[in-house]
Structure 1
Amino acid sequence: MKVLVLGGYGLIGEALIGRLLRDGHHVAGLGRDVLDAERRRPAVRWIAADMSRLLAAEDWLPVVAGVDVVVNAAGALQDGPRDRLDAVHRRAVVALVAACEQAGVRRFVQISVIGVDPASANPFFSTKAQGDKAVAGSSLEWTILRPGLVIAPAAYGGTALLRALAAFPGFVPAVLSRQPIQTVSVADVAEAVSRAVAGSLPPRLAIDLVEGKARSLADILSAFRGWLGLPPARVVPMPPILGRLVGAVADGLGTLGWRSPLRSSALAALAGGITGNAQPWNDVSDHPLQPLDATLADMPAHVQERWFARLWLAKPVILACLSLFWLVSGIVGLIRQDEAADILVSRGVPANFAQISVLTGSVADMLVGAAVLVRPLARPALLTMIAITLFYLAASTLLAPELWLAPLGPLVKTIPALCLVVVALAVLDER
């Protein structure tokens, strides 16, 4: 069949696409930025579109024309510059369902989440519930799947955070460490979607996808630490106020475009526990959902997982250090502008040009130091840091080559800072 997967390059969506291709279906994927996905999955017909802008049935009709099944694996955790929960979870889904009914789409598979509730104070759960309601109220042959905490070989968002916390040196920090959680393998989610697409599940079915037994967050983190091959370490519960503080900081970073899984919405979801009912799935399927231990055993960890886990928490530290370094450098240059200009004048640079050069350099330093904190500007800011540093080294070598041998090493110390920028570029990608 012809299957359209929304959010096709996400943690769940990419696994679904791989399974549907293996099943022999013709698959199209939809997302905002599909360039990387096109390179990774050339067998898929990719559609570049922002769901939050497709809010009328007429917007969706060209997209679903000729499609047999739609699988909605798109979603966002919290409102931000790139995400509008009500638009993505509710309004776009309402319009999409109407378009599917008009276009004669046979089936609709909605990937929802444990804990949806239209009355929830958490916009993530309430908007998801409203989207589910639009699907359930349609004339389509629908299936609504509500996974627990999805564990996948890929790491993004919460799954990346689990690995990073598990790899923390010396001990494992955890907020709400005793909250119960039921996991599910992304392969099991893909199996459920495969069956729904094929029509082998009962029609008009809304069902949880969770392992049979709940376990605490502390137990899950310990399991991930063992999976990474690291020595056992004590899980240390963090005070709730620290969680609220981190959530507030993450929410602030969200306004700058960073999608941290530590935002207040995620912490609120964890506070309520992530648990569902495993029995209904067992009643309709001969494929029991595997427990966490089996899920981890099916995706053995190697050195790349340990590198990722250790670098994930280092990434914000790296970016914060670079921002602080360049901001302070620019501020000091402004405060001591005359002294800096005198150094250039002593090397034969005209006084006016020296003053302008110091002022321009200081402003440039502060601009890139601030820009690196804004997600859409981070990459160009890092590249600009490299260009400024190389220019600084070249100019210093021409004007004052003896600085390379200066006792405090002002030029030599620039090299490690340059290397840190390169590391930041290497770990900048979110998925």
Structure 2
Amino acid sequence: MTASRVLVLNSGSSSVKYQLLDMADRSRLAVGLVERIGEETSRLVHEPLAGPAAAGGKRERTGPIADHEAALKAVAAELAADGTGLDSPELAAVGHRVVHGGTRFTRPTVIDDEVLTEIRNLIPLAPLHNPANVTGIEVARSLRADIPQIAVFDTAFHSTMPEYVARYAIDAATADAYSVRRYGFHGTSHAYVSRATAGLLGRPVEDVNVIVLHLGNGASASAVRGGVCVETSMGMTPLEGLVMGTRSGDLDPAVVFHLARVGGLSVDEIDSLLNKKSGLLGMCGDNDMREVLRRAGEGDESARLAFDAYVHRLKKYIGAYSAVLGRVDAVAFTAGVGENAHQVREAALDGLAELGLALDLEANAARSPQPRLVSADYARVAVAVVPTDEELEIATQAYALVTQ
């Protein structure tokens, strides 16, 4: 029996999301979530999707789950109950989402003690994410030390950016001393969507230039030339770039000095302001695009201003990345807002006919869970809506590594 299953783990500070996939046919066998880890009201939701267990549907339980070790043991128990436990000889690897790989990790990597130490050393660059990723890795290794544990890094896809793109124009010695450069994020999504868009066009990925717009509560853009990222909107942190749900995106750095000197805000207060209280939320009080659209449609001026700012930033990046790529074959929208808010797609592309962009308004407004083209037949540049699948991308990269 050839082992073809990959368990994908996304460990957060108080949660674990997971999927079990069979790479023989790229199918999902189970999905689940453990949340509120460390609380009395911890919750585990597990849904088997294949085999006899699927007939029983979703299972849910609540109660204390003390830590990530207890969480992963609970996940293992649920999988075992389905007959797909961690002791299965069909399990080929565990794929871990790791947010930050710095310049050290530019491809999926088999985790050993040295690699784990390096990931720990990157915690200052991702203090909210890498510690939880490390914890998940440690627990998974303790449960199945005999199978490959693979780290797949959010930053890796963007590591191909030219040095003149990745560098900030600050003193080089200072930048090097503190690892100040542009890393980019959402890399697994950008990799998956750029490749899926080429498939939708029926062309080899090497022949296709794509602008990918990953629009969720966090949002980022990328310019992908022949499957290789050459630009992305997020920088040293996920704060740079597009207007987001709670993040400001691009900002004059002197705003920080002004808030400190004139406003008397501390570094932590400014950090919280720009990351958690800005973007759509800061401008109109809502970070849910559905609410922003509803309010704007009812004449709410702050919601309309927030929406216009959001769309304007998108237009700027589409225009800039068109210039960077020189030739654009497709613009692909993905993630929660990108996939579902047809008004955002329409507004973002309005007036860009000179760039070869035009929508089929009826196709754009139609809802569908499938990858699809929504551009007008006469448009030079295709417009695609491609549901992202970061778990499948992690599993694909992990499985490719262990079977190469």
TM-score, normalization by structure 1: 0.30
More strand by share: 2
More helix by share: 1
Bigger Cα Rg:
1
